[in-house]
Structure 1
Amino acid sequence: MHKTFLNQMPTLIKKVFFGGLIFCIALLSQSCKKEVQKKPFSLDEKYYSEKTQLYLPNDLEATLWAESPQFFNPTNMDVDAKGRIWVTEALNYRLFRNDPGKFKHHEEGDRVVILEDKDGDGVAESSKVFVQDKDLTAPLGISVIGDKVIVSSGPSVIIYTDSDGDDKPDNKEVFLTGFGGFDHDHGLHAMMAGPDGKYYFNAGNAGPHIVTDKSGWTLRSGSLYNGGSPHMIDNEPGMVSDDGKMWVGGIAMRINPDGTGLKVLGHNFRNSYELALDSYGNMWQNDNDDDGNKGVRVSWLMEGGNMGYFNTDGSRKWQADRRPGQTTAMAHWHQEDPGVIPFGDNTGSGSPTGITFYESDLLGEKYQGTLFASEAGRNVILAYKPEPTGAGFALNRHNLITSLKEEEVEDAKSRATDADKTKWFRPSDVVVGTDGAIYVADWYDGMVGGHRMIDSTGYGRIYRITPKGKNLPKPTIDLSTTQGQIAALKNPAVNVRNAGFALLAKQGSQAVEEVKAVLKDKNPYHQARAIWLLSNMGSEGIQAVENQLEADNPDLRLTAFRALRQVKTDILPYASKLSSDPSAAVRREVAVAMRDMPMNEVKAILIELASHHDGEDRYYVEALGLAMEGKEEEIYTALNQELGAEPLDWNPGFEDLTWRLHPKQAISGLKDRAMSEQLSDAQRKKAVTALGFINDQKAVNAMQEIAATNIADVKDQALWWLRYRRNNDWNEFAIDIPELKANLSPEIQKEMLTFKSVIESKSSPEAEKIKAAKAMAKDKTGGMMLIGLAEKEGLSDKLKSEISSVIFQNPEQAIRVLAGDYFSNPAESSPLAVADITALKGDATKGKQVYLGKCATCHQIGEEGRNIGPNLSMIGAKLDQNGLLDAITNPSAGVAFGYEMWLITLKDGTVAYGFLQADGPIVVLEGLQNEVYNIQASDIASRKRFGTSIMPKPSDLKMNEADISNLTAYLVGLNSETN
């Protein structure tokens, strides 16, 4: 139809014409492109293997394939074309927290070890060291891609090249460097070859990550997170990369094999241990929560997606942003904020580790398309069969392999030190071998998390999982022939496929026909691999990929579009064609591809994509949000014209888009909806929330109007938003509410500053200094000032001695505890005998009374106690009796992340102390009485983070051995919601 004719059609006729046309096309498309029906996934009943001490489904069996001393402390694995397993070791694991005098370690650096089953009996009898390097300190990732061995060991990705195949490195190259997280669990993780031939990898939130690729492009990612390691002191939020974007926290990345083209694919994780890709190009990961918050997740990662751990610039923790009524998991991942991707499956508590996607049928047809995720904290390998649901996926969890009975998996311990070693099964990685078997690395320790170990020997093991009663022979891969390269491309081992991919791509047009034949393979994942490869094989190959845009299987249409994006400069014809595809996942991918494209080129496509939103698909609206990023105001005008209505008549799709985009021009409409009693509570709340994300004085004014209404639900919400936003995004706007002060008490601070000046004055008599110091030592604020002076060595030995006689009676518990690092406690008692405590039989009933009398001032259990320190409601699901005993008697051995005490001194000499919640233009501390201090960053003179826990030792609380035994008996029973 001629364009001029279309322009002359009346708007209403156009809508009716195109609506009918699209409806007819959709009907035809649905008949031609039916969704692939998949059988429901379920596991066979489990049995217990005496030989391996594992529980497995009845159709699988396990063998102990390798164990120490063939290797030690395995952190990650990969498989080469010979079917050998490569392992990175971490004997030198966090030696700042694990005494090298007590734990096995390597002075010459950590190692990469090669393991092989040469005789095919299902057990590895060969072990050799490929490399030992002082630059390897507890490396967390390895990939073997051709003759290159890629090791991730913060701050660098190191490539060792074995040119002559003698299993010794001939060259060492620092491929990328500048990542944070040296000797830290939240650092740099494994690379893998994607189906497109590029390398994919990730890093945790232990930044800053300031990394420049070979083309000179620089990534900058950070947050306010500084913790867990003495090496981590300079992370910061709000950094901008060379693409103009602000990437935050943990990040997923892609890079070309030559070191150019570094690109961020997702961000704002806490610490995703590893990235896994399927052959369609879908990215999968798991991510750890803050300890004890039952927020661990297994997720599908949308390209460019914000996964919601911090706020958008990384300056605030989730606790600072938690809204009234939000559950911990929803707040932990900012799930109710526009711009955040759904978290997937919330697995509860745990310590997620390696992850892989199984695409073969060699393990059994039912396992094809299964995501395997290691969960070290809960002693289990989880299995998912992701089900496409709208623009995202549903993830239904199954316990595949575990050392525990099924009903005990939820009660697994991240610390288990009793005689029962079943909870020492700590899967650190899971990979697929060239034979189709699953290989599971077991870190084997009584503890995971907190950068600590219990096992001093470094023992580790690897299990091989195969179909019961079926031999899986190791294939011989001949890469010298085209058919051998095709066989490699089809291999179950992820990085082995890349050898076939690279050699076939090098052949180009000469091998196109052979690769096109793979498009007819019965395995859809093989078909997808052929699509990626054909896009790299010249015009004939690209034509074959373009034909796949018409495939019946939406996964293949989606793959074809992804592949064409990487090789074609003009993707708009494809995007326009697919913008009305019947598959929401295909349309989602079109939306993601539009993210950085000019408005004048993509306007019609965006409107078409938006017209399909029903208001129910969170993945889809987030993809639309990414597509419209930076274009919100302009596109909203167009969307309002095409899809909008009067504010109270918005349909669910337009309402959801407005919430996601929250443009300034929607302020009036959002205010009307928030104040309308015709709408439901949920609709009004959504409007208020959208207003809370608009940084404009008019939004502030609208919120103040809402706060003045008589509609109780929105009135309270609006008041909360005004108080909350005053301390961050709206701090520059006029807000008519009482201003929160930073100082604890101006008059007391002033008095303490006078005493401090006496101490610091060289002319003050000694007696006056002592009098002033003792007065300060009795006061909360003065005591913290003295600790600050002691930290800077601003006190004489005489003064320190005099202060010691007073400061340990300070009314503030935290000051009494922290003072122990700087002053001698004259009343210091001998430590309690742990052996005497363990010999006692604790009484849980009496233990609860100990909790109420000694612990509830800081720790909450259910509705009892105060929320200052970590919540203990589920502590029994995390620590066993010995673990609890150690935490109680030695509290500073492992300070929980986020509970480090900070002392902030302002330029006028006043101080504030507490837990850091936000670090931006306004620094937010939460005090020990749950009070909030909002401090202008420009007013700060110095900051001090303490490594000592503010939890007092039992002797400080006048607790004896019986008290601790009883308390431990009570706490260890807190292992389910019903408790």
Structure 2
Amino acid sequence: VVPNLLQTMWGSPTGMAIYEGRLLPERYQDEMVHCDAGPRVVRAYPVKPDGGGYEASIENIVQGNDTWFRPADVCVAPDGSLLVADWYDPGVGGHAMGDHDPSHIRGRIYRIAPKGENWTVPEFDLSTAQSCVETLKSPNMARRYLAWTALHEMKRKAEKPLRKLWRDDNPRYRARALHLLARLKKRGWDYIEEALHDENPDIRIAGLKIVEEERLDPIPFVKMVLDDDSPRVRAEAAIALRHNDSEKAPYYWADLAALHTGKDRWYLESLGIGADGQWDRFFPAWLARVGKGWDTPAGHDIVWRARGEQVPVYLVEILKQTGESYENSARYLRALQFQPEKERNEALVALLEETKKHIGESNGWGRIGVDLVTMFQPSPYSDEQLTDDLGRWLAKAAEGTPQLVGVVETFGLSDLNPMLLDYAIQTSEGQYVASALLPLVLEKDQTTLMTALESEDVTRAVKVVGALGHVENEAAISLLSSIVASTTWATPIRSAALVGLIHTQKGAEEILELAKSGDLPSEFTNLAAIKLNSVPGNWREIREEASNVLPLPSNAEGEVFPAFGELSQMTGDAGHGHEVFKQICMVCHRVKGEGVEFGPDLSNVGGKLGKDALYENILNPNSAISFGYEPITVVLGDEYEEYGFPVEENDQEIVLKVQNGETIRIPKKDIQEIRHEKLSAMPVGLEKGMTTQDFVDL
């Protein structure tokens, strides 16, 4: 994966331009300028070299306090000023416009320039080659395009003034001239070669990029820069070799790889891109080139990034050296997942045998062994290799992690089920809770569960029933239902059991049946009503039935909510709003790590949306569906279907995020139909369970 230049965190990135004018202060010159409509800011990202790549910082140019300010695009005017388009709206994302009355839609274009620099429109001329070259210097992209196109059509007639620009002191002007000169017939190669010998590494990089863009044979050009003193130039040379099938390509790549320092992630990834699809040619050439140099920090980096038949053996050798430290070993274990299956499995078996030599040690080998038996499926190991003493040692190493489930299951260690229960009630990740508790639910007489539930520790029992709600299994649902209905259990345990049931569709249906039969205890009627009337997505039938059987309690005022403008002027209590969130919203959303990761994380939504947009999104969730949260229903046959958000898809399967924030993998061979839902997964009517003050506090 190519490193990120900069992490800007949450936002709604929109327009971007490269500012190549000279009107604005120097810190913005020749840098990226970017609009982020979410936090309402226009920024520059000054960049400087960092090994084979770059690093960037942030320089804010404009930031608005008006929550409707939405900088959506930016361009550079001919006079060098910036023009920023302000969409002007209370919200972003999902195409829900709060400012939609056609009689007075608002918006504006801001001009950003130093004080006293009035707006001007410089004249330009495209009638001659020389005048086109002058226009090519414009900071305005549209003018540069017109000039470039005219010069390109002039061909050799434009060469003389372009050569003069090629000798300019400004590297930006030189690069623009080069891109035209390099495309001249018969003369283009000469200019590329000249560029590759230039003292400026950016010009050398530009020369290589032209080779790639024009799909020229890269071999003679890469040869010129094999020992270039700039890692950025060599990185570009490695990329130029991508998918090149010449005999020299592996050896040139090996020369470039031999110069990796072991401290340059950008350079390493450029090597990886260059070797893509040809590792079985390039990796052996590198081994021959470096000899014992493979066994150095820099060499280990290359092995980690490589993908090929010879690679697994070298990964195992590295792991033998790093095994005492899991932190130093994890990346090499992960790299094994990307290797050819046959060679990988042979290496895994050898590595497991090496791991068994360290049974009983309290170091990284235990965690390595855990990964070996849980990360790689189908398992390449025989039953004889998976010994009981190995399993118990690995279970201790996996305690408190999701991998404990896999270890207990792989080695059949049912006597360690109490460890699974401890893990299930400690973690907040629904999918791991479910996988940890399922063996306990299926356990004969549910001994482990009942011991925990019947103990005097009510707090622990509440956590157990809450965790059980993540297990979509008839036995778990039956147990929770019996707890809700029976007065022999403490009220906090029964309440937690009810909430747990509504985590799953079958559990929600069970609560409805209790309500219809009159067996739902009256003290839980309001809680059940709020939860059932806010279930997501394609549970609409449950919601509709709940509205009749368990109608939402009316709000205290029994009135329609005030207009957004009035609501926005009211003062809220954030502490009480937190309680409202936990009661109504937390079943699908998170704030600062608390809640379920099903719908969008709302931790920063207050800085992204104005109050009126927040109210609108709650009252009318179908008016705008956020990108990435368009729900689908996957029909699997026999009236069975799954509903959620698609997060990954390939030729074999679809990965779906479902209610509770879990992700499930659905083989495509099992899918009968995929329906793209038109309505949001967020239900309508949540406000009916709130007073006006609750709404404002939230």
Partner secondary structure for residue 388 of structure 1: strand
Q: Indicate yes or no: 2:60 matched with 1:399.
A: yes
Correspondence for 2:318 among 673, 684, 695? 673
1:429 corresponds to: 73
Partner secondary structure for residue 462 of structure 1: strand
1:466-481 paired onto structure 2 within 5 Å: 466-471=113-118, 473-481=120-128
Q: CA RMSD in A?
A: 3.9
Residues 1:861 and 1:714: Cα distance change in structure 2 (over 3 Å): farther
Are the counterparts in 1 of residues 226 and 234 from structure 2 also a CA contact under 8 Å? yes
Correspondence for 2:9 among 320, 332, 348? 348
1:566 is displaced (CA, Å) by 4.6
2:29 corresponds to: 368
1:579-728 paired onto structure 2 within 5 Å: 579-645=226-292, 650-677=295-322, 680-700=325-345, 702-703=347-348, 705-706=351-352, 710=359, 713=364, 715-716=366-367, 719=370, 723=374, 726=377
Are the counterparts in 1 of residues 260 and 267 from structure 2 also a CA contact under 8 Å? yes
Deviations 1:914-966 (A, max 9, x none): 44343342333344345554332212223334444444556587332222222
Unaligned runs of 5+ in 2: 387-405, 411-434, 439-469, 479-501, 511-527
Q: Indicate yes or no: 2:72 matched with 1:445.
A: no
One-letter amino acid of the counterpart of residue 674, structure 1? L
Residues 1:888 and 1:531: Cα distance change in structure 2 (over 3 Å): same
Correspondence for 1:872 among 602, 621, 624? 602
Matches of 1:934 and 1:540, distance apart in 2 = 56
1:481 is displaced (CA, Å) by 1.6
Are the counterparts in 1 of residues 196 and 203 from structure 2 also a CA contact under 8 Å? yes
Deviations 1:539-590 (A, max 9, x none): 3454244223221111112222333455574332221011211111111111
1:883 is displaced (CA, Å) by 2.9
Residues 1:914 and 1:502: Cα distance change in structure 2 (over 3 Å): closer
Residues 1:911 and 1:724: Cα distance change in structure 2 (over 3 Å): farther
Partner secondary structure for residue 428 of structure 1: strand
Correspondence for 1:578 among 213, 221, 225? 225
Matches of 1:866 and 1:854, distance apart in 2 = 12
Matches of 1:809 and 1:876, distance apart in 2 = 25
1:265-664 paired onto structure 2 within 5 Å: 340-404=1-65, 422-456=66-100, 457-471=104-118, 473-540=120-187, 542-566=189-213, 569-645=216-292, 650-664=295-309
Share of identical aligned residues, percent?
29
Are the counterparts in 2 of residues 613 and 653 from structure 1 also a CA contact under 8 Å? yes
Correspondence for 1:928 among 616, 640, 659? 659
1:391 is displaced (CA, Å) by 1.6
Residues 1:425 and 1:839: Cα distance change in structure 2 (over 3 Å): closer
Deviations 1:35-63 (A, max 9, x none): xxxxxxxxxxxxxxxxxxxxxxxxxxxxx
Matches of 1:650 and 1:831, distance apart in 2 = 74
Q: Indicate yes or no: 2:499 matched with 1:780.
A: no
Matches of 1:342 and 1:809, distance apart in 2 = 43
1:833 corresponds to: 561
Matches of 1:844 and 1:377, distance apart in 2 = 22
Q: Indicate yes or no: 2:579 matched with 1:849.
A: yes
Residues 1:780 and 1:365: Cα distance change in structure 2 (over 3 Å): closer
Matches of 2:504 and 2:179, distance apart in 1 = 68
Partner secondary structure for residue 99 of structure 2: coil
Residues 1:425 and 1:811: Cα distance change in structure 2 (over 3 Å): closer
2:467 corresponds to: none
Matches of 1:513 and 1:473, distance apart in 2 = 31
> TM-score scaled by structure 1?
0.52
1:506 is displaced (CA, Å) by 2.8
Are the counterparts in 2 of residues 532 and 563 from structure 1 also a CA contact under 8 Å? yes
1:695 is displaced (CA, Å) by 4.4
Matches of 1:747 and 1:428, distance apart in 2 = 51
Are the counterparts in 2 of residues 842 and 966 from structure 1 also a CA contact under 8 Å? yes
Unaligned runs of 5+ in 1: 1-339, 405-421, 752-776, 786-805, 968-979
Quick check: 395-404 or 850-859, which moved more? 850-859
Matches of 1:734 and 1:501, distance apart in 2 = 66
Partner secondary structure for residue 532 of structure 1: helix
Matches of 1:733 and 1:455, distance apart in 2 = 62
Partner secondary structure for residue 356 of structure 1: strand
Matches of 2:205 and 2:599, distance apart in 1 = 47
Quick check: 573-582 or 884-893, which moved more? 884-893
1:393 is displaced (CA, Å) by 1.3
Greater gyration radius: 2
1:595 is displaced (CA, Å) by 0.6
Higher helix fraction (1 or 2): 2
Residues 1:919 and 1:821: Cα distance change in structure 2 (over 3 Å): farther
One-letter amino acid of the counterpart of residue 855, structure 1? C
> TM-score scaled by structure 2?
0.71
Matches of 1:626 and 1:423, distance apart in 2 = 42
